[in-house]
Structure formats: C-alpha cells, structure tokens
Structure 1
Amino acid sequence: MVHQLLKDKPTKLFVLFAAFFVANALIAECIGGKLFSLEKLLGLPVHTFTLFGQSGLSYTLTAGVLLWPLEFVMTDIVNEYFGPKAVRRISYIAVGMISYAFVAFWVAMSVPADSWWLGSRSDQGIPDMQAAFTGIFGQGMWIIFASLTAFLVSQIVDVTVFHRIKRHTGEKHVWLRATGSTLVSQLVDSFIVLYIAFKIGNGWSWQRVLAICLVNYSYKFVVAVALTPLIYFMEHRIEKFLGHETAAKMKAAAMQS
C-alpha cells in the first residue's frame, strides 16, 4: 500500500507541496520577529514619508515577508491542481504545527537555564543568553493570535477569489487568477495582523494601522506581481512531471471539489 502511494505522481506532488507549505509557514513565523529596512537592503537612502497623517514612515518590514509570498504562490498551485479542500487541509495543518511550535518555544523558555550557558556568549556582546533566547522566540500572544487568524482568513479569501476568477476565465489567464487572488488575500492578511496585534492589542490609532498596512501591502503587491513568472514556471514543470493528460484531469477535478 505504501509503495503504491509513493509511486503515485500526484500523491508525491501533494506530499512535497504540503511539506514545503507547512515548513515555509513555520519558518516565516519564526523569523518574523526581526525587522529590516528594505531601502538599506536595496542600497537606497532611507526617506521617511507621511500617510493618513502618520509621519515618520519608511519601508521597515518584518523578515517574515521574505517568505510569505511563496506561501501564496503555493496556495495557488495547490488550488489549481488539487482544489480548495486540499488548500484548507494543509492550511489547518500549518496552523496546528505553528501552534505546536510556539508551545514548544514556551516550554523551552520556561525550563531553568544552566548558569554556564547564560554567559557563554558574553564575549560576543550577549551578556544574558536566556534574555536573548526569550527575546527571539517569545513573541507577544497578540501577534501570534493575529498572525494565525490572518493566515487562515487570507487563505480562505485566496481560494475563493481564485476559483471565482477561474470560473470566468477557464484555463486561460493563469496570471489573472493567481496574481489577482494573491493581491486580494495579501491585503486582507496585512490588515488583520495589524488590526488584531496593534489596534486591539496595543491601542494604535486607525490612522497608524491603515498607514502601515498600506506600506506593507505596497511591498507585497510588487512582490506578488514579480513572482507571476514563477507560477508559469512551476506549472510547466508540473505538467512535464505529471503528463498533460493527468494534469488536465487533476485541474478538472479541482474545479469540482
């Protein structure tokens, strides 16, 4: 039975996609505590600007945005070949694994630290390893809740928009349904995270929430458009791996699920 499953190409593909999807989401959550300057990354001068009355804005982003766009690309690919039920299933698994990971982080932060370890990196500018460990892995509960909620809601939105566009375009215009669904879901994701984590959790003003949401979304918008060729490349490789007939059958079944 196991050997038959492992030999089945669609099964191999789904296992690979699911594993990457879950791992990518977990890694993105883990590195999300770091902020970086997009301008400095691109070698550009940092210029602050004002939006919705909120001054001092710049492209300071969480490191998680380096990986999250790939998550939405994978969502569209899985949606194309396996349907919305498959997307929801791997999304639930990802949320479960992320929740488990944060419980594990909390346990690791709570166990007593060895005295030798506490000062083991003092020569590298880290006088207290426990404080450093907690600072990296101990994200606020509002941020964790906001991130998981935004992830689930945006995935549902992505699936819905993707299939509505596909019903009108059929097999044509892959770029429209893939990029269009990502652009809508990324806007939802950006707003929900900021609203829950910082409007509810930290009392931010609406002006600040909307301003930072628009800044973050403008980056995601550009990346989503830039990654459109990747979707075509992946579809080409998948068609080659599965064979045109099998791929066509999978796409047709995905539309009915």
Structure 2
Amino acid sequence: MAKPVANQLTGRLIDVIRHRPSRLFILLAGFFVANAIVAELIGVKIFALEDTLGLSPWDFNLFGESGALQFSAGVLLWPFVFVITDLLNEYYGERGVRFLSYLTVGLILYVFAMIYAAISLNPADWWVSQSVANGVPDSQAAFAVTFGQGMFIIVGSVTAFLLAQLTDVFIFQRIKRRTGEKWLWLRATGSTLVSQVVDSFVVLYLAFKLGPEIVGGLIEPWPWSRLLAVATVQYVFKFAMAIIMTPAIYLAHDWIDRYLGPDVAADMKATARSAE
C-alpha cells in the first residue's frame, strides 16, 4: 500500500512543478527571499555614489547636515525588489505577499542566528592570520565586523522591511480595486513610494536613534537632523529608481501574461484583487 501512496505524492509534486502559476510563485519567492537576505548581508558596506560613478562630490545640505551621497550596498538590489514585489502583488495579492514577508523575516533572523553562532566558534590559529599579506591582520575580527551587525540594526532592518512590505501590498491592492487593470504604473510606483517612506525612516530610527538611547552610552544616538538627512537622500534614490524601473514592470507583466496564458493571468489578477 505504501508504494502507491508514494507514487501518488510524487505525481502531485510533479504536477505542482508543472503547474505554471505554482512554478512562477516559486521563482518569484526564491528571488524575493534571496534579495532580502543578500541585502542584509551586504548592507553593512557604505559606498560613495559620486566616487563610484567618477563624479565630483555633490556635498548636499539638508536639515543642517552636509555631505556626499553615501548609501548602503543593499541598494544594489532595490530595482529587483521593486519589480518582484509588484509582480507578487499583481498575481498573488495580499495573502501571497504577507506570507512571503513573514517567511522572509523568519529566515533573516535564522540567518543571523547562524552567523552569530559562527562568530562564536573558536577560530583555527592558521585561519586567523592567513590573510595578513592581503592587509587583513585578523580574519576572525574581520569576519565578526563584516557579518556581526549590531542587534538594533538587525531589529530595525527586519521591522522596517516587514512594515514596508505590508504597507506596499495594502496601498497596491487599494489602488487596483479602484482602477482595475488600468494605470499599472500608478499602483506599482505609487505603492512603492508610500511604503519606502516607512522603510527609509523606520530602519534608521530604530537602529541609530531609539536603539542607542535604550542601550545608553555605548553608541551615540543620531541627532534628528542627521537621521532626516540620510533618510531623505535614501528615499530620493529609491524614488528615482522606482520611476526608472517602471518600463521593466510593463515588460515583466507582458512576459508573465504570455507565459501563463491570457485566461489564467486574468483569473489570477482578478483573484488577487478580490481576495481579502
């Protein structure tokens, strides 16, 4: 009896893989989760945009703060996050985005738990000094500094990510229910511009304002002027990228509609729009 049951389960799995809406969800979900985790890992690096592009420093002045355009390396993934989030909103609705958002937060926390466990392992003596010739005198210290982000940065990051995603899907679906299939650019870009206000400000507030104030004395809390200046610069960058990536949204929608077939695509969009 066991063999027929096993064959039946295998057959169902194959059917799921062959089922194009399911396969599309797996593809989008994989990129969604991967982007979020990679952004967390590379986000500790701050780069100078003008130097990277070979331009003279802008030296902006906002809220009494001045400086060059400097961003977390995590913004490299932002264009992909923008497109994937829109596609998930469009074809799988609030339930799909909420499910993936909660799952991603759980996986990010799991990743950092494993990283902290790895940091706590006693390193081999030869490994600590293996990169001295390359300018890294202590590989253990470099590993800990690179991957061991402060706890409030992690909390701020995952909180901002979750709030931004839930805000994005809420705004997206409300716009879509009012406009139907018209004005794709409005629901895609509009929801993003609102949600990224949350993302840009919440993560900095929790990580560099509230967190240090709670800890007390270990890290100097950012003044409001710096927090608002940095958050505004990052938001303007995301705003510009959302506008630039709008044509990619149309191209991705066109490809998916052809991949799924017009009837299946239309049914999925209608279900995503009507589902609570």
TM-score (norm 2): 0.91
Per-residue deviation, 1:68: 2.9
Per-residue deviation, 1:57: 2.2
Determine what percentage of the aligned residue pairs are the same residue: 51
Q: Of 181, 184, 187, which aligns to 1:171? A: 181
CA distance in 1, matches of 2:173, 2:67: 36
* Residue of structure 2 in register with 1:35 after alignment: 46
Q: Which has the larger radius of gyration?
A: 2
After the TM superposition, which parts of structure 1 deviate over 3 Å for at least 4 consecutive aligned residues? none
What is the 5 A alignment of 1:194-205?
Answer: 194-202=204-212, 203-205=221-223
- Check conservation: 1:52, 1:207, Cα contact below 8 A: yes
SS in structure 2 at match of 1:201:
helix
- Check conservation: 1:25, 1:68, Cα contact below 8 A: no
* Residue of structure 2 in register with 1:143 after alignment: 153
Per-residue deviation, 1:201: 2.1
Per-residue deviation, 1:224: 0.9
- Structure 2 residue runs without a partner (length 5+): 1-11, 213-220
CA distance in 2, matches of 1:70, 1:161: 19
* Residue of structure 1 in register with 2:7 after alignment: none
SS in structure 1 at match of 2:22:
helix
The answer on 1:246 being equivalent to 2:264 is yes
1:102-155 residue CA offsets vs partner (Å, 9 max, x unmatched): 001001100000000010010000110001100110001010000000000000
* Residue of structure 1 in register with 2:218 after alignment: none
* Residue of structure 2 in register with 1:210 after alignment: 228
CA distance in 2, matches of 1:65, 1:127: 30
* Residue of structure 2 in register with 1:18 after alignment: 29
The answer on 1:87 being equivalent to 2:97 is yes
Q: Of 153, 160, 165, which aligns to 1:155? A: 165
Q: Of 13, 26, 36, which aligns to 1:2? A: 13
The answer on 1:44 being equivalent to 2:44 is no
The answer on 1:60 being equivalent to 2:70 is yes
1:56-113 residue CA offsets vs partner (Å, 9 max, x unmatched): 3221000001113422321111110011100010111111111110001001100000
Letter in 1 for 2:147: F
Pairs aligned (count): 256
CA distance in 2, matches of 1:32, 1:125: 22
- Structure 1 residue runs without a partner (length 5+): none
Q: Of 235, 240, 250, which aligns to 1:232? A: 250
Letter in 1 for 2:186: L
CA distance in 2, matches of 1:12, 1:61: 35
SS in structure 2 at match of 1:184:
helix
CA distance in 2, matches of 1:174, 1:252: 14
SS in structure 1 at match of 2:47:
strand
* Residue of structure 1 in register with 2:197 after alignment: 187
- Check conservation: 2:78, 2:238, Cα contact below 8 A: no
- Check conservation: 1:113, 1:130, Cα contact below 8 A: yes
Letter in 2 for 1:104: M
SS in structure 1 at match of 2:202:
helix
Per-residue deviation, 1:48: 1.5
1:214-242 residue CA offsets vs partner (Å, 9 max, x unmatched): 11111111111111111111101101100
CA distance in 2, matches of 1:10, 1:180: 26
TM-score (norm 1): 0.97
* Residue of structure 1 in register with 2:6 after alignment: none
The answer on 1:133 being equivalent to 2:143 is yes
CA distance in 1, matches of 2:207, 2:91: 34
SS in structure 2 at match of 1:160:
helix
- Check conservation: 2:172, 2:190, Cα contact below 8 A: yes
